[in-house]
Amino acid sequence: MNPPLALVEEIVLLSLDDTTGAHLPLMPQAIGYGLAGAVLADLEMAGRIATRTKCVEVLNAAPTGNPLLDPWLQKIAAEEKCHSIAYWLLTLSDEKRDIETAALDHLIERGILRRQDKKILWVIGLRRYPTVHNEERVEVKTRLARLIQSEELPTHFDATLISLLQGCYLISEVFGGDLLDGRSARIATIADADPVGREVAAASREAIDALMLAQSSTTAPF
């Protein structure tokens, strides 16, 4: 039996289209912060770092045994200075491609995803990651949907996951308007309880605002 998925794996899984396995149309900067936040949260849950102070403190630099997390734990532990959550979100978001690729490869190794390469007009390469049985994605979405629709107390893991999904603007892509309709206060309450998720949301908003400002300045009339 496979061990439970890490936060970074669940976010990558949810960032793919249910049917085709194609990446959802997400803003790269936002999903980058979401994946960075997932790495930090996974390391905290593994007892390796603490994020509830002004800086990300390394509690234990010993490897977790998870190849998705240990390279980033080494990177954090190698720093002589203690940096803030915002600093590490920015730093790790620049590693989006490596974090995502490692998670996809791990999900393929675990038999959850498969890699599918196609060509459009025999030239343009298109890579997709359809699920093998779709059980894991259905389980994650069902679990979170039940939590959003109810008033039950979330686990720390699920509260963090919802906070990260909300922070990187993925939650509406995953669930759509019908399930989320009228539940914004519930989602905000869950999301606000997690400090990493709050930082992800702030960083994502800042990145998106900067992009919108840049786009408006290039299209503004003379």
What CATH number is given to the structural domain containing 117?
1.10.3630.10
Q: What is the pTM of this model?
A: 0.88
In a domain, 79, yes or no: yes
Domain count for the chain: 1
Pairing status of strand 57-58 against strand 116-120: unpaired
Q: Which residues contact 38 (CB under 8 A, 6 or more apart)?
A: 6, 7, 8, 10, 11, 164
In a domain, 109, yes or no: yes
Q: Which residues contact 169 (CB under 8 A, 6 or more apart)?
A: 26, 27, 30, 204, 208
In a domain, 1, yes or no: no
In a domain, 216, yes or no: no
Structural domain of 168: 7-205
In a domain, 218, yes or no: no
List pLDDT tens digits, range 160-175. 999 999 888 899 888 8
Residue (of 42, 38, 51, 41) closest to 3 by Cα position: 42
In a domain, 135, yes or no: yes
Residue (of 40, 47, 23, 26) closest to 197 by Cα position: 40
List pLDDT tens digits, range 62-112. 999 999 999 999 999 999 999 999 899 999 999 999 999 999 999 999 999
What pLDDT, on a 0 to 100 scale, did the predictor assign at position 169?
87
In a domain, 214, yes or no: no
In a domain, 213, yes or no: no
Confidence grade of residue 121 (pLDDT, cut at 50, 70, 90): low
Amino acid at 15: S
Residue 222 pLDDT greater than 50, yes or no? no
Helix (H, G, I), strand (E, B) or coil at 41: helix
Residue 206 pLDDT greater than 90, yes or no? no
CA distance 58 to 79: 10
